[in-house]
Structure 1
Amino acid sequence: MHFGAIADDFTGATDLATALRERGLRTAVVIGEHDIPTDHDAVVVALKSRTAPVDEAVSASLAATDRLLAAGADRLYVKYCSTFDSTDEGNIGPVLDAIIGRADTDRTIVVPSFPANGRTVRDGVLFVDGVPLEDSPMRHHPLTPMTISRLSGILAPQTSAELTEIGLDTVRGGEEALRAAIDRATPGYLIVDAETDADLAVIADASRHLRVVSGGAALAAHLDAPAVDAHVPFPAVGPGRLVVCGSASAATRAQIADATARGAIARGVDLDAAVSDPDAEIAALTAWVRSVPATALPLISSVTELSDIRRDASATADAVEHVLSAVVAGLVAGGDVHRVVVAGGETSGAVVQALGISALEIGPQLAPGVCWSAGETASGDTVALVLKSGNFGATDLFTAAWGALA
């Protein structure tokens, strides 16, 4: 196994797996604690640890690391979101600390840049579509509001490791110059600037000697990999469609608006009912989806405007995840739905876990960071899933995605 990867949410796992698959690596996504296959070039373990308590995130990440190393992984890849979603407590810093220690190495790179999706780093500052992170819509994220743009400023409260910034001038000096900078830096975390895919290619080449690398998925698109055919036929699935949105991001809200303008039939989750009587809300939403004509696209959303976000955002989010995942699981088990687009990392994780899926097969790519995947549920049904980060995908994704499946 060339790469063993740990992703802090399920959308990030499929995002990374898509990049590795495009590099020609036979790649599997394994859900949580399920068995690691030993016949793949790369395995991504999908965790639901981005917003978990620090101790839980570290424990789950170390357990995944141990299993990947035992399965023969040569190198480790720590995957986090390209908007560096975290809090002052973690979980990026504590997880990196733990995995670096387990791998018995003293440094790694920190490269969240994803140029195709507008995430770039210059002078150690993370930009989203040309705007500093703290001035982007991520400032209003209900679970991980990002109010600092400098990556060292985000990481400093999370780790005692030395933080070193490596600028674009060094990156654009070429592979040898960057590798020398990496090797002579004080042990710790090396925050490397990148504004283009060409920059990422240099970083990937210059860091190929590191046992552990960390970043968003875009870096993986440039990792050294064998030239093999990693593509396998995507399984056929039934026609039943559904979109569920737990994300409150501006991108997802725009996608909801576009889908409804194009004829999708939308309904919001009753947030009060989701908290006070979730079983009744699950039943109501399930019945509603079944009432939508087969030719129409049903769409369930939790948030359409920022004003919908509650002060008790965490408790409400947990309730919404439970409701949406239970609705999807019931409709798939009932044979009503076979293809589901899920918006939001936490919601995606809840849906996959509710379905009882142990591994995902990566299918057609829809956009940078967005793809179809397929998995077998606990009851033996095959379901096709798009697990989409709230911030990713074109505005028409919810209506355009279906054309990629036979």
Structure 2
Amino acid sequence: MLIGAIADDFTGATDLATTLRERGMRTAVVIEDLPVGPERLDGLDAVVVALKTRTAPVSAAVAASQRAVDRLLDAGAERLYVKYCSTFDSTDEGNIGPVLDAVLRRVDADRTVVVPAFPANGRTVRDGLLYVGDDLLENSSMRHHPLTPMTRSRLRDILAPQTRAAITEIPLGTVRAGTNALRAAIDGAAPGYLIVDAVTDADLAAIAAASAHLRVLSGGAALAAGIEGPADAAPRSLEPVGPGRLVVCGSASSTTRAQIAHAHAAGCALRQVDLDRALDHPQDEIDGIVAWVRSLPADDLPVVYSVAELSDIRVGAAEVSAAVEDVLARVAAELVAGDTAHRIIVAGGETSGAVVQRLDVSLLDIGPQLAPGVCWSGATTGSGRRVALALKSGNFGATDLFTAAWEALA
């Protein structure tokens, strides 16, 4: 196994797996702590372990990451990749810094690069500052994230409270000075974390080449586009599944809100989660949504969502988010069990994790790409049903994703 990776949420896992697959690696995603027979990993070049650690307590995130790394090393992983969001979602406590500290200790490595840039999705790093499109991170919609509000843009300032390790910034001029110069800067820096500027895909390719000797990589998925794979890069087709469609959205991002608005304008059937019932009477809310979906004509596209406007975000966001995730995951599971839903788009990293865990899926086969960082994947539920899942980071995908994604499964 050339690459063993951990991702701090399920959309991040499929994001990275898609990139590795595009680079010619035979790749799969496995789910945290769920058993997968060694025969299912045989012949894979890369395995990504999907965790649900982005907003977990620090100790729990570190412990889960350590278990996943041990699992990958036992399977023969030559290099490790720590995948986090391209908007560096975290708090002053973590979990990016503490997880990186633990992974480096585990393999006795003294440094790694920190490269969240994802130019195809508008995430770039210049002078150590993270941009979302033309806006600094602190001025983007991520400033209003209910769980990890990003109010600073300098990556060093975000990471420093999370770790005692030294942090070095490597500027764009060094990245563009050539592989040898960049490698010399990486090797000559103080042990710790090296925040590397990247504005284009060519910058990321240069960073990947200059850091090819490092045992541990860290970044968003786009850094992996510079890693060469040994196998045929032809897209892998997925097993056919039934026709029933469903979209569930736990994300409050501006991109997901625009996708919901587009689906509404396109005539899709929309239903918003009643937050009060989700908190106080969750089973009633689940039953109501399930009954509503089943009442629709078979060719309708039901979209169940929690946030249409920023004003929908409640005080006590963590409790509300957990309740929404639970409701959406149980709705999806009931509709799959009842043979109503077979093809499901899930918007939001935490929601994606909740849905996959509720379906008792242990492995995702990576299928066709829908957009940078978004793909269809095939899975078998714990009860043996085959489903197709598109796990979408809240910030990813074109505005028409909810209406256009189904064509890739035809």
Provide the TM-score with structure 1 as the length reference.
0.99
Aligned equivalent of 2:9: 9
Cα distance in structure 2, aligned partners of 1:257 and 1:160: 44
1:185 CA drift (Å): 0.3
- Among candidates 353, 371, 376, match of residue 372 of structure 1: 376
Aligned equivalent of 1:77: 81
- Among candidates 317, 326, 330, match of residue 326 of structure 1: 330
**Are 1:359 and 2:371 counterparts?**
no
Does the Cα contact within 8 Å between 1:111 and 1:214 map onto a contact in 2? yes
Aligned equivalent of 1:186: 190
Q: Helix, strand or coil: the match of 2:130?
A: strand
Aligned equivalent of 2:395: 391
Q: Helix, strand or coil: the match of 1:299?
A: strand
Q: Helix, strand or coil: the match of 1:89?
A: coil
Q: Helix, strand or coil: the match of 2:391?
A: strand
Does the Cα contact within 8 Å between 1:259 and 1:398 map onto a contact in 2? yes
Structure 1 unaligned residues grouped into runs of 5+: none
**Are 1:171 and 2:175 counterparts?**
yes
- Among candidates 217, 229, 238, match of residue 242 of structure 2: 238
Cα distance in structure 2, aligned partners of 1:292 and 1:187: 59
1:233 CA drift (Å): 2.6
**Are 1:253 and 2:257 counterparts?**
yes
The RMSD of aligned alpha carbons is 0.8
What aligned pairs does 1:62-73 form with structure 2 within 5 A after superposition? 62-73=66-77
What aligned pairs does 1:135-214 form with structure 2 within 5 A after superposition? 135-214=139-218
Structure 2 unaligned residues grouped into runs of 5+: none
Aligned equivalent of 1:346: 350
1:39 CA drift (Å): 2.7
Q: Helix, strand or coil: the match of 2:33?
A: coil
Cα distance in structure 2, aligned partners of 1:283 and 1:112: 40
Aligned equivalent of 2:50: 46
Q: Helix, strand or coil: the match of 1:342?
A: strand
Q: Helix, strand or coil: the match of 2:311?
A: helix
Cα distance in structure 2, aligned partners of 1:82 and 1:26: 24
Deviations 1:118-138 (Å, cap 9, x if unpaired)?
000000000000110000000
Deviations 1:334-375 (Å, cap 9, x if unpaired)?
000100010000000000000000000011101000110110
Aligned equivalent of 1:21: 21
Aligned equivalent of 1:222: 226
Does the Cα contact within 8 Å between 2:259 and 2:399 map onto a contact in 1? yes
Deviations 1:172-209 (Å, cap 9, x if unpaired)?
00111100000000000000000000000000000000
Q: What fraction of aligned residue pairs are identical, expressed as a percent?
A: 70
1:140 CA drift (Å): 0.1
1:11 CA drift (Å): 0.1
Does the Cα contact within 8 Å between 1:25 and 1:230 map onto a contact in 2? no
Which contiguous aligned blocks of 4+ residues in structure 1 show a shift greater than 2 angstroms?
A: 34-39, 227-233
Provide the TM-score with structure 2 as the length reference.
0.98
What aligned pairs does 1:88-167 form with structure 2 within 5 A after superposition? 88-167=92-171
Cα distance in structure 1, aligned partners of 2:112 and 2:327: 39
Give the residue type in structure 2 aligned to 1:203: I
1:232 CA drift (Å): 3.2
Aligned equivalent of 2:299: 295
Cα distance in structure 2, aligned partners of 1:388 and 1:227: 26
Does the Cα contact within 8 Å between 2:328 and 2:351 map onto a contact in 1? yes
Cα distance in structure 2, aligned partners of 1:296 and 1:260: 12
1:295 CA drift (Å): 1.5
Deviations 1:299-354 (Å, cap 9, x if unpaired)?
10001011111111000000000000000000001000100010000000000000
Cα distance in structure 1, aligned partners of 2:231 and 2:98: 35
1:231 CA drift (Å): 3.9
